[in-house]
Amino acid sequence: MQTATISRLHEHAGGEVTIRGWLSAKRSSGKIRFLILRDGTGQCQCIVEASHADAFETADRLTLESSCILTGTVRPDDRAPGGCELDVTGIEILHIAEEYPISRKAHGIDFLMNHRHLWLRSPRQTAILRIRHTIIRAARGYFDDAGFTLIDTPILQPGAAEGAATLFPVDYFGEEVYLAQTGQLYLESACMALGNVYCFGPTFRAEKSKTRRHLTEFWMIEPEITFADLPVLRHHAEQMTTRILRDVLEHHRDDLASMGRDTAPLEAITPPFPVLTYTEAVDLLHSEKVRSWLEGDLADKEKQLAACREELAEAVESLGTAKKAWQKEKAEQQIRSLEEHVRELETDIEHRRHHMSDASAFEWGRDFGGDEETILSRQFDKPLFVTGYPREVKAFYMKRNGQDPRVVENMDMLAPEGYGEVIGGSIREDQLDVLLERMKEENMDPEPYQWYLDLRRYGSIPHGGFGLGIERTVSWMCGLKHVRETIPFPRLLGRMTP
Amino acid sequence: MQTATISRLHEHAGGEVTIRGWLSAKRSSGKIRFLILRDGTGQCQCIVEASHADAFETADRLTLESSCILTGTVRPDDRAPGGCELDVTGIEILHIAEEYPISRKAHGIDFLMNHRHLWLRSPRQTAILRIRHTIIRAARGYFDDAGFTLIDTPILQPGAAEGAATLFPVDYFGEEVYLAQTGQLYLESACMALGNVYCFGPTFRAEKSKTRRHLTEFWMIEPEITFADLPVLRHHAEQMTTRILRDVLEHHRDDLASMGRDTAPLEAITPPFPVLTYTEAVDLLHSEKVRSWLEGDLADKEKQLAACREELAEAVESLGTAKKAWQKEKAEQQIRSLEEHVRELETDIEHRRHHMSDASAFEWGRDFGGDEETILSRQFDKPLFVTGYPREVKAFYMKRNGQDPRVVENMDMLAPEGYGEVIGGSIREDQLDVLLERMKEENMDPEPYQWYLDLRRYGSIPHGGFGLGIERTVSWMCGLKHVRETIPFPRLLGRMTP
């Protein structure tokens, strides 16, 4: 007998197979039992008739998430999700699960995060993680095909590259070292040995604020390109993004639909992407266009908030009148979920109000925060490049602009639909004296960076690169509100388990 | 004018191009200057004749590792490494390098490791890193093609998976957490959600001993396979290894030849690979066959040691008679390098002697060390699987053998030519009570592992996986003595920089 995976069950139409997996739902109808089996590749409805007495009896013993092996005949059925159902003739129980803690009811986010090791089994979470895999393959594939060499840069590093405030210290045989914030400095060294290179690995920032866009442990793909200027960086960023979009849309239309992601905004994206300088972006923030967009957006959000509060009041009332335990539990869970939504909307509204009151006061020279990024990215249907940020708000290694020394040769790419920064990059300062001056401005001790400064002593070249944040990209593609679902086991402020 | 990379220069035969890179060597011959330019993709001999007066004069100003842009005509020449040379008409200097610290003379390993950021530029190092990239692509490609989903398991973990003695502590906002020793426990959770999965990332072991096979930070690819038994694990390990071998041999014949790697032993490897149980392997260690192999090997090594000592004596003598500074430097460097080689051979001989005196005393129940692995792997021309190790020397999560509870359902794969363990894996214990009993035996507190134990409470299934160490695989493929050259920036006991 052949063992089949559910995703390839259609190849066995009419044949007898075994499938192996977990029971994700069950219902009864007289002399029939309907079992929904999932095996990681998909879900399949399996039908057990009373005429198969042994199987029928065994079916009744199966609890949610029990593991088992089903034998049966594959029957094509156009109404079934995978195009087939299984007419079961035998059931072998592998393990009867204890009462499964995750039900179909709404759970609070803390409960789900505490049960992340089981929550991963839900169809929405598996879809997100499969899309994550496709995004990573697409990005790596782009650089592999373009002749870049993969360089695994070190995670344990002696110093900071992106500001000492967000370093995680590690006890290295009694010596204090730090977790990598980026592979960039090491990549620069490698690109002068191997030409174009990229790294892909985990990076760490001890971000002390809770936001929807930050994890303390996140993954980045970072290319470093020899003899590059900003248009070359933009070209690679555009082409890589286009390839990611293409692969996600090609392989995950069903997954995206299942999580309610409207794919039209993704499909509309084609290069070239718009480019603004930082100065132009500041002007746009002050513009009449943005002011009227803000007013409209604020009105929308207030309408949503009112509706949400009304729902919440109803849920509170139904909790008061609930008699049975399951009714109470359901109402409580609904309340928790609505309360979270209300808090989110209140925060959004507060931010919008703050920005409107403050808009004319946004001064040239400040860094864009999440709010400004959201507002800017909402004005375009495509990813937006913003270039030439003020030197003071950017890292020491970014090349100073030759015409305007107040700004650096950098670029951020803001994803549309309000997702904000997914790529940050720059041309690197290649002159030793300018780099030393910048480090002095930042009160950095040059001693631990002598090896890095060597790259400007022995055949310095123009070069640059960027980093794409994987989790923010997953969030954007999947249309998620929070990055916490974009990585298998998220690490946040106050969240280190499981 | 077209800009070309050196590796694709042959596509421009007869045409005028510019190439950009670094000067890696220079020599003069009357009215001709020969410049060897490297650009990360390859090396090219560039010829400057005195008739091009500007370029000729500029050529004389170029120091080693200076960066420049050369313009010229591509002339096919079968004797040239890439099949062409460049007849230079113009030279633009980008940066004149200070006196380059790495010369063609032999440097001590500490000097090279301190200059790792520049040492990467040597042809041998770039070849190793390109082969590393191919190995990683091949391994990922194998699992991608086989339908496995990539799962990026967390680096920051609350507990140990491979023994508390080798954990690196991290200060996580005041709480002590640890760097991942493996992604396995998390992968097990993911495989029950997504079916077959794999992770690829950095792992950390605070190994307090200096050996040629250990880094404190190393990369592993780890698959986790649902409904697997040992033959299934072996099948995937064999197929993945075969794909790595095929891709390395297909793309890197020249690289391997350039570093003196005899490819014949690699080419001879085809599945199936031999399998021994631990018990059979212990018997083999005690056998007459191994005893006579050890005697021959010892005699070889003693002969090598005598020759090496002789060379060392000559070098010491030449240092005594050296008059010029460069002669002294050269002799000193030679002495350092020979002394290292002598130390290595002495260690090897000591280990062999120890094993021979101790051989009959190697007791069933001990774990194999590097010496036993070397001896075992030298007896086969193919990778060797050893299965069924004593329970006491293996991790708590390995499944106990049903017939013989003294041993577990595990496998190590030892690479031939003495390279030893490159893969370690096992079937996982899937019964809650047995797992708890094992944790008690190991004095482990089950509390931090409740989430992991949940996988045995909710639909436990037979499953297993393995981990392939990337650096040891690179070492084996490239025929290196030490893993320190297999990763861009190695981290070892006492080595955290650059």
- Tens digit of pLDDT for each residue in A429-477? 999 999 999 999 999 999 999 999 999 999 999 999 999 999 999 999 9
Position B1 pLDDT exceeds 90: no
pLDDT of residue B435: 97
Domain-located, residue B495:
no
Say which CATH number the domain at B55 has.
Answer: 2.40.50.140
Tell me which residue range forms the domain holding A33. Answer: 2-95
Domain stop point among B359, B381, B412: B359
Terminal Cα-to-Cα distance of chain B (whole angstroms): 39
Position A147 pLDDT exceeds 90: yes
CA distance B131 to A281: 44
Amino acid at A383: P
- Residues B153, B219: one domain? yes
ipTM over 0.90: yes
B272: cis peptide before it, omega within 30°? yes
Q: What percent of chain A has pLDDT over 90?
A: 85
Closest in A173, A457, A498 to B451, CB measured:
A498
Q: Report the gap between the CA of B271 and the closest CA in chain A (Å).
A: 24
* CB-CB neighbors (< 8 A) of A134 in chain B: none
Domain count, chain B: 3
* CB-CB neighbors (< 8 A) of B133 in chain A: 149-150
Domain stop point among B359, B384, B402: B359
* CB-CB neighbors (< 8 A) of A132 in chain B: 150, 152
Provide the number of CB pairs (under 8 Å) joining chain A to chain B: 249
Q: What is the mean pLDDT of chain A?
A: 94
pLDDT of residue B360: 60
Position A336 pLDDT exceeds 90: no
Q: What's the pTM value of the predicted model, to 2 decimals?
A: 0.96
**Residue A1 pLDDT class (50, 70, 90 cuts):** confident
A272: cis peptide before it, omega within 30°? yes
- Residues B341, B400: one domain? no
CA distance B411 to B392: 15
Domain-located, residue A10:
yes
A254-287 tens-digit pLDDT: 999 999 999 999 999 999 999 999 999 999 999 9
Nearest CA in chain B to A94: B461
SS3 call for B241: helix
Mean pLDDT of A196-208: 96
Position B430 pLDDT exceeds 80: yes
Say which CATH number the domain at B198 has.
Answer: 3.30.930.10
Domain stop point among A306, A337, A359: A359
SS3 call for B375: helix
**Residue B354 pLDDT class (50, 70, 90 cuts):** confident
Q: At A234, which helix (H) or strand (E)?
A: helix A230-251
Domain-located, residue A294:
yes
State both tokens at A59. Answer: 């079916």
A350-407 tens-digit pLDDT: 988 888 886 567 899 999 998 899 999 999 999 999 999 999 999 999 999 999 999 9
The answer to whether the beta carbons of residues A497 and B158 sit under 8 Å apart is yes
CB atoms within 10 A of CB B10: 14
The answer to whether the beta carbons of residues A475 and A482 sit under 8 Å apart is yes
Closest in A136, A153, A219 to B489, CB measured:
A153
pLDDT of residue B173: 95
pLDDT of residue B330: 77
Please answer yes or no on whether B120 and A95 come within 8 Å at the CB atom.
no
A30-52 tens-digit pLDDT: 899 999 999 999 999 999 999 99
Domain-located, residue B366:
yes
Residue-wise DSSP of A416-472: TTTTEEEEEEEEBP--HHHHHHHHHHTT--SGGGHHHHHTTTSS---EEEEEEEHHH
pLDDT of residue A211: 84
The answer to whether the beta carbons of residues B91 and B59 sit under 8 Å apart is yes
- Residues A83, A119: one domain? no
- Residues A125, A220: one domain? yes
Domain-located, residue A498:
no
Q: Report the gap between the CA of A378 and the closest CA in chain B (Å).
A: 31
β-strand partners of A385: A275, A413
* CB-CB neighbors (< 8 A) of A498 in chain B: 158, 189, 451-452
- Residues A193, A233: one domain? yes
- Residues B275, B294: one domain? no
Percentages helix, strand, coil for chain B (3-state, rounded to 5) are: 45, 25, 35
pLDDT of residue B359: 58
Q: Report the gap between the CA of A284 and the closest CA in chain B (Å).
A: 38
User: Roughly what angle, to the nearest 10 degrees, separates helices B470-478 and B230-251?
Assistant: 50
The gap from C-alpha A355 to its chain's centroid, in whole angstroms, comes to 26
The answer to whether the beta carbons of residues A157 and A201 sit under 8 Å apart is no
Closest in A94, A116, A121 to B461, CB measured:
A94
- Asked which of A116-125, A203-212, A263-272, B166-175 is least confident by mean pLDDT, the reply is A203-212
pLDDT of residue B101: 94
- Residues A184, A308: one domain? no
Structure-model confidence comparison of residues B332 and A249, the more confident one: A249
Mean pLDDT of B82-94: 95
A322-335 tens-digit pLDDT: 888 777 877 887 88
Q: Report the gap between the CA of B155 and the closest CA in chain A (Å).
A: 8
Please answer yes or no on whether A190 and B455 come within 8 Å at the CB atom.
no
CB atoms within 10 A of CB B79: 7
- Residues A176, A224: one domain? yes
B134-161 tens-digit pLDDT: 999 999 999 999 999 999 999 999 987 7
Length of chain A: 498
Domain-located, residue B370:
yes
CA distance A426 to A4: 49
The answer to whether the beta carbons of residues A10 and A83 sit under 8 Å apart is yes
pLDDT of residue A212: 87
* CB-CB neighbors (< 8 A) of B20 in chain A: 226-227, 461
CA distance B383 to B127: 24
pLDDT of residue A107: 80
Domain-located, residue A497:
no
* CB-CB neighbors (< 8 A) of B226 in chain A: 20, 39-40
**Residue B186 pLDDT class (50, 70, 90 cuts):** very high
Residue-wise DSSP of A257-304: HHTT---HHHHT--SSPPEEEHHHHHHHHTSHHHHHHHHHHHHHHHHH
Closest in B118, B133, B189 to A454, CB measured:
B118
- Residues B231, B119: one domain? yes
Please answer yes or no on whether A488 and B461 come within 8 Å at the CB atom.
no
- Residues A89, A7: one domain? yes
- Residues B175, B267: one domain? yes
Contacts of B101 (CB under 8 A, 6+ apart): B115, B118
* CB-CB neighbors (< 8 A) of A95 in chain B: 430, 456, 459-461
Q: Report the gap between the CA of A172 and the closest CA in chain B (Å).
A: 7
Position B246 pLDDT exceeds 90: yes
Domain-located, residue A181:
yes
The answer to whether the beta carbons of residues B358 and B375 sit under 8 Å apart is no
- Residues A296, A245: one domain? no
Q: What percent of chain B has pLDDT over 90?
A: 84
SS3 call for B51: coil
